[in-house]
Structure 1
Amino acid sequence: MTIKIYRPENPILKKYIECFYILEQPSEESSATYFTFPSIYTIVTASEKTETLTTKNKITTRYCQSNPIETNLVSDFNEPVLVSYEGVINEITTYFKPLGINAFIPNNLRDYSEGSFPDFNPYEDYKETMTSILSLKDPAEKIKAIELYWLSKFRPFENVLLAEVLTEMFDASNLNQSMTKLSYTTGRSRTTINKHFDQHICKTPSQFKKIIRFRAAIQSQLDDKNRAGLSYSVDYFDQSHMIRDFKKLTGFTPKVFFSKITTLEKDLIKWMFI
């Protein structure tokens, strides 16, 4: 299995999209299986001639000659998921930044997010266009084509409340800020904030904050791989707090997690192969 990441070239897309990646697996390779973990990004995938089977915490994608295209959305998972690829795989994925996808879809994100790995088909031409993009042999041409498609669907999206809340959450000094304080800072009730999160991010504010803190801890560890032991000062109250969150989000203690994690493409992808 090979994975190559591409950053958006268009300045408009750079504001909303973190990256694209192309995943390919030839027929002669054995199945690839890994754990993936909760993320702040909204992930949209398209794969050629596959069928996907989903259970509570496992997704298996396998070659299927009779199914021309699969297009799926990943936005609402808060526990580790085991992913397995079997047979020939040709997939392209878009990682949208928080709130980013809302500028490219006609309805609220929640309208597309029923189920653990829902079919994603926001426009009449979407599946046909993704099929055409996946048929291209040159990776650079694939990326150019998917950028042009998303640009064709761009519609300005603004949610002042969520923009303010996310700014507060991503401030390193505020990661442990309570919802009560966040409500006071924004002048909006907790119920209103929760409603907006559900409609446009498909997570609760507390889930989102937990994932921000978790991802910050991973990045901190990767930035200092020579550190003797783990630093528990990365926005956790104490060691037990960190262990509790890591077990919830990964199924492992921090020590075991960091001993097994694999980073790809300059640490942009963080999976645990098994």
Structure 2
Amino acid sequence: MNLKFYSPKSDVLKKYIKGYYFIIEDNEYDQVIYKTFPNNYNIVTVMQNISLHQSDNQIIITASKEKNIFSNIVYRYKNPIEIFYQKQCNEITIYFKPLGLNFFIDKLEPFYSKDHTRAIEFDPFIDYKAEMEKIFSIQNREEQIEEFENYWLSKFIEKDFSMMKILIQEVETDININEIAKKNKISRQYLNKLFQKNIGKSPSEYRKIHRFRKSIADNNQSKNLTELSYENLFYDQSHFIKDFRELTRKNPKLFFKKVDTEKENVWLFI
């Protein structure tokens, strides 16, 4: 499965969306299986003419007998998820930055209150499925991208998240989380509430995943695991390995050997 990861052309969308990719229905490939690992993005996927089945840490995608548009959101997962395509389908997947989706949807809490261990059905706007169907019907990729970006721009809502941006920046450091709350004159409980409401996970969970993802990005610039551990604010190498195993189910050395971390999508194909 060869994918091109597109960065938004719109300067507005660049602030809130890391990027997106397209998959085209392909009858040459009967099956594709890969594992994806925890991150702090909100991942929205739109698929055409499929059925989706879920079990613990696995999503199975099959062709549907009926025409449909199916969309889901994954916002919080602590373990690798295995994605199993019994047949490749038409798909658009969008990676919204932390806080990003809040600028397009009035309230995300109804989605964040659902079972976070699964992909949740996502149908945020009255015209959403009809417009996605139109976008899938466009054959020229550049025209498709223009229509896709214009649609999301039409849903943009200006909001003030200045306090949350400060809190996120501080959680991404090694400052004690209780100290972050104290510094910003709020309680630890209220800090947790703000993160759950606006990002869908706790500050400590966000920090753990941020360190993990940064260590993946920094891997090629580090001499060894010890250096990588300290560069990414882990207490020591054992702390790094413990968190890494928890989030990937693999030892870091084995993970870096098997997974191409140079790509935008850090996946393990099976």
Query: What is the TM-score when the length of structure 2 is the normalising length?
Result: 0.93
Q: 1:222 & 1:64 partners in 2: Cα distance?
A: 42
Q: 1:42 & 1:244 partners in 2: Cα distance?
A: 25
1:39-65 per-position Cα deviation (integer Å, ceiling 9, x unaligned) = 111111101111111112001112214
CA contact (8 A) 1:221 1:230 kept: no
Q: 1:65 & 1:246 partners in 2: Cα distance?
A: 40
Matched, 1:22 2:22: yes
Where is the strand percentage greater, Structure 1 or Structure 2? 1
Matched residue SS, 1:245: helix
CA contact (8 A) 1:34 1:272 kept: yes
Shift of 1:92: 0.5
Matched residue SS, 2:266: strand
Matched, 1:48 2:45: no
Which one is further off, 127-136 or 110-119?
110-119
Matched, 1:112 2:111: yes
Q: Which residue of 2 aligns with 1:198?
A: 196
CA contact (8 A) 1:47 1:69 kept: yes
**In the alignment, which of 233, 257, 265 is matched to residue 269 of structure 1?**
265
Q: Which amino acid aligns with 1:237?
A: Y
How do 1:84-95 and structure 2 match up within 5 A?
84-95=84-95
Matched residue SS, 1:78: coil
Shift of 1:17: 0.8
- Cα 1:3–1:166 change in 2 (3 A) is same
- Cα 1:220–1:136 change in 2 (3 A) is same
- Kindly, what percent of the aligned residue pairs are identical? 34
- Cα 1:164–1:228 change in 2 (3 A) is closer
Q: Which residue of 1 aligns with 2:230?
A: 233
Q: Which amino acid aligns with 1:19?
A: G
Q: Which amino acid aligns with 1:128?
A: A
Matched, 1:37 2:23: no
1:191-232 per-position Cα deviation (integer Å, ceiling 9, x unaligned) = 1111111111111111100011001110111345xx466633
- Cα 1:55–1:122 change in 2 (3 A) is same
The alignment's C-alpha RMSD in Å is 1.6
CA contact (8 A) 1:73 1:120 kept: yes
- Cα 1:88–1:35 change in 2 (3 A) is closer
Q: 2:225 & 2:17 partners in 1: Cα distance?
A: 34
Gaps of 5+ in 2: none
1:233-273 per-position Cα deviation (integer Å, ceiling 9, x unaligned) = 2321111101110111111111111111124xx52111111
Instruction: Give the paired residue count.
Output: 265
Gaps of 5+ in 1: none
Matched residue SS, 2:168: helix
Q: Which amino acid aligns with 1:133?
A: I
CA contact (8 A) 1:2 1:25 kept: no
How do 1:74-89 and structure 2 match up within 5 A?
74-89=74-89
Q: 1:126 & 1:104 partners in 2: Cα distance?
A: 12
Q: 1:78 & 1:33 partners in 2: Cα distance?
A: 19
Q: Which amino acid aligns with 1:144?
A: E
- Cα 1:222–1:83 change in 2 (3 A) is farther
Q: Which amino acid aligns with 2:123?
A: N
Q: 2:205 & 2:183 partners in 1: Cα distance?
A: 19
CA contact (8 A) 1:197 1:205 kept: yes
Matched residue SS, 2:44: strand
